[in-house]
Amino acid sequence: MRFRTDILLLVLIGLGVNQPVKAQAISFSPTRLFFKGNPGETLTETITISNSGKEPYEFITSIQDWKRDSLGNKIYFPMGTLASSNGRNIRLSSTNIKINPGEKKELYNQHPGA
């Protein structure tokens, strides 16, 4: 069985940044994660968040379901809303993140085996 989850930046940018994000100050890598594995296998992926700015930033992270509309735009839903959702199977290492100027942090995303 293959698990595929686009976390899309964990929806970090739209979730609760306490101040406007300047393109050159905050970076996320990668911006999409794909979990592919076998039944029972636990998979872990990492997102690195870097702050090259002069101000600290705080984020609240969460997992959401999404689908595309007829124009290809993404529509977001609370986790577990869609029949194809596997969001309840994903664990984040942290849901509240504060990143100071010049700092890099890693956010671990785990998809435990079934």
Tens of pLDDT along the chain (114 residues) come to 334 444 444 444 444 444 554 456 889 898 888 878 888 888 888 989 999 999 999 988 888 999 999 999 999 999 999 998 888 888 888 888 999 999 999 988 787 765
Q: What is the rounded CA–CA span in Å between residue 9 and residue 61?
A: 9
Could you list the residue range(s) of the whole structural domain that residue 53 is in?
A: 9-111
Q: How many domains, the chain?
A: 1
Q: What is the rounded CA–CA span in Å between residue 113 and residue 91?
A: 12
1 in a domain, yes or no? no
User: What CATH number is attached to the domain comprising 51?
Assistant: 2.60.40.10
